[in-house]
Amino acid sequence: MMATTTSLERWGIVGGGMLGMTLALRLAQQGKDVTLFEAADHLGGLASAWSLRDVVWDRHYHVTLLSDTSLRSLLTELGLEKEMQWVETRTGFYTDGELYSMSNTLEFLRFPPLNLIDKLRLGATIFYASKIRDWRRLEKIPVADWLRRWSGDHTLERIWLPLLRAKLGENYTKTSAAFIWATIARMYAARRTGLKKEMFGYVPGGYARVLERFGQKLAAEKINIKLRHAAHRLAPANGSGVRIEFENGQRETFDQVVVTVAAPLAARICPDLSEEEKARLKGIEYQGIVCASLLLKQPLANFYVTNITDSWVPFTAVIEMSALVDRKTFGGNALVYLPKYVTSDDPFFTASDEEVKESFTTALLRMYPHLLQSDLLCFRVSRVRYVHAISTLNYSQRLPATATSLPGVHIVNSAHIVNGTLNVNETVQLAEKAAEKFSSLPDSLFRIRHV
């Protein structure tokens, strides 16, 4: 006679970024037996940290907003929220070779490149966008058409197009107005959540500290964390379940697997999906990034973000992290990021570190004449081909479902953020919604195994 035992349902999660980590935590809290697989030798993905000399900080700049309630709840669970530092930061605008502060209404009204009518229309565009609730109708309209309609030709050319190109490159032509709506909605999130003003915050120690504590929490929840496990292929297991084959030659079988990596990578590791599913995944277009981190002896201008409209500048913004985080954290130095957003197949990905350094520092020295070559202490380059999905026209209808035709295989990734921008708060929300959905899958609490 066959013996019957009750065992926990085994879940495998592919991808140890903030999405995979949050999902792992929530599934374990539902009583599932969870293993988290990460290709790199550390957790955190885009949010992970690295070193510039002896300074350890985020590989890509990160701030938390006061209105990021899901992330703040997670940080509370990790015992870190109470330590957060909140700062009111300033914003700069580099245009026509001049650096302007754009941190309040008066400075906006003084901003020379636009006349008063342009400014009123620009202000009205942002205010109007912040009031729109039905974002779906914006998905049908190209972003530049929508902005031209509300802000006029001059402001489109002088302000919006440079900003769109900065974030989307020439992919802005494929992008819908829902993108600008989501960006503005994030700017106004504080007011929507009843806060008077927005503030930027960080956990002392940056994401290195968040990830260390998060890793400890996952271990305490008995989640098995396997680093250096790049999933190579998912396939139906003999009998039932899903087999994951790893590039290191190992194999493991699970009842359910959730893939959290970017859509084209998900299509690659799940070759048994239907042709239609693979086409949908591959059809999602991504922006990538080449992002330099610089340690400088002296600050630049103390704006957290400086937007750039001059096309000769090879990077798309200047992020001065030390305008937010005390310079003592960086050994008294300034920490600056120079991001360049590019399409995922841009030839700039093949530029060497030296080439990136040469072109970025030449421009930086021209933009900030007080800066000297000898102020540059350290320069490191991060390259990521798949950062965020582009909100193409009718994006929400082109999105692949989370459930797939392969029994036990689910795909959830940042491309599923349909009405928001890419940020950790949205990522945490996505993971939590997915975990809730998985909790009500039939047969999901306990599984009867026949042995």
Ligand X SMILES: Cc1cc2nc3c(=O)[nH]c(=O)nc-3n(C[C@H](O)[C@H](O)[C@H](O)COP(=O)(O)OP(=O)(O)OC[C@H]3O[C@@H](n4cnc5c(N)ncnc54)[C@H](O)[C@@H]3O)c2cc1C
Q: Which of 12, 15, 215, 408 binds ligand X (CB under 6 A)?
A: 15
Residue 231: φ, ψ to 5°: -65, 130
- Are 229 and 235 in contact by the 8 Å Cβ rule? The answer is no
Nearest CB to ligand X, comparing residues 114 and 356: 356
* Binding region for ligand X (CB under 6 A) out of 58-66, 166-174, 250-258, 361-369: 58-66
Cα–Cα–Cα angle for 60, 64, 66, rounded to 5 degrees: 165
Q: What is the DSSP string of 183-200?
A: HHHHHTHHHHTT-SS--E
Smaller CB separation from ligand X, 57 or 150: 57
SS3 (DSSP) at 94: strand
Question: Is residue 307 involved in binding ligand X (CB under 6 A)?
Answer: no
SS3 445: coil
Burial per residue of 254-282, b for 16 or more beta-carbon CB atoms within 10 angstroms, e otherwise: bbbbbbbbbbbbbbbbbeebeeebbebbe
Give the separation between CA 154 and CA 204, rounded to whole angstroms: 43
| Residue 37 binds to ligand X (criterion: CB under 6 A) | yes
Q: Residue 64 corresponds to which tokens in the numbers above?
A: 């938390």
d(CA 333, CA 360): 19
Task: Please list the alpha-helical segments (H only) found in 105-251.
Answer: 105-110, 116-131, 143-151, 153-155, 161-168, 178-187, 189-192, 206-220
Shortest CB 242 distance to ligand X, Å? 14
Residue from 144, 190, 227, 230 in contact with ligand X (CB under 6 A): 230
- Could you tell me which stretch among 42-50, 75-83, 348-356, 357-365 binds ligand X (CB under 6 A)? 42-50
Smallest distance from ligand X to CB 117, Å: 33
Span interacting with ligand X, options 57-65, 112-120, 187-195, 322-330, rule CB under 6 A = 57-65
User: What x/- string results for residues 244 through 283 when contact with ligand X is judged by CB under 6 A?
Assistant: ----------------xx---x---x--------------
Part in contact with ligand X (CB under 6 A); list of ranges 153-161, 271-279, 353-361, 420-428 = 420-428
Residues 360-389 that bind ligand X (CB under 6 A): 387
Distance CA 71, CA 425 (A): 5
- Please report whether residue 291 would count as binding ligand X according to CB under 6 A: yes
CA distance 437 to 50: 34
Residue in 62, 119, 278, 385 binding ligand X, rule: CB under 6 A: 62
Asked if residue 38 binds ligand X (CB under 6 A), the reply is yes
Residue 222 amino acid letter:
K
Q: Please report how close the Cβ of residue 44 comes to ligand X at its closest, in angstroms.
A: 6
Residue closer to ligand X by CB (options 180, 270) is 270
Question: One-letter amino acid identity for 177?
Answer: A
Query: What's the rounded Cα separation, in Å, for the pair 355 and 367?
Result: 19
Helix, strand or coil for residue 319? strand
| Opening angle at CA 118, ends 113 and 121, nearest 5 | 145
Interface residues for ligand X in 329-348 (CB under 6 A)? 339
Given 101, 151, 155, 414, the residue binding ligand X (CB under 6 A): 414
| Residue 63 binds ligand X, judged by CB under 6 A | yes
With contacts defined by CB under 6 A, how many residues of the chain interact with ligand X?
A: 35
The window from 10-18, 170-178, 310-318, 369-377 that contacts ligand X (CB under 6 A) reads 10-18
Asked if 75 interacts with ligand X (CB under 6 A), we say no
- If one asks whether residue 320 binds ligand X (CB under 6 A), the answer comes out as no
47 is an interface residue for ligand X by CB under 6 A: yes
Output the smallest distance, CB 260 to ligand X, in A: 6
Q: Find the binder of ligand X among 20, 241, 264, 314 (CB under 6 A).
A: 20
Q: How far is the CB of 269 from ligand X (least distance, A)?
A: 6
Tokens 């239609």 label which residue? 276
Q: What are the φ/ψ torsions at residue 386 (nearest 5 degrees)?
A: -120, 100
Pairing, β 334-343 against β 286-296: antiparallel
Which positions lie near ligand X, rule CB under 6 A?
Answer: 14-20, 37-40, 45-47, 60-63, 230-231, 260-261, 265, 269, 289, 291, 339, 387, 413-414, 422-425, 427
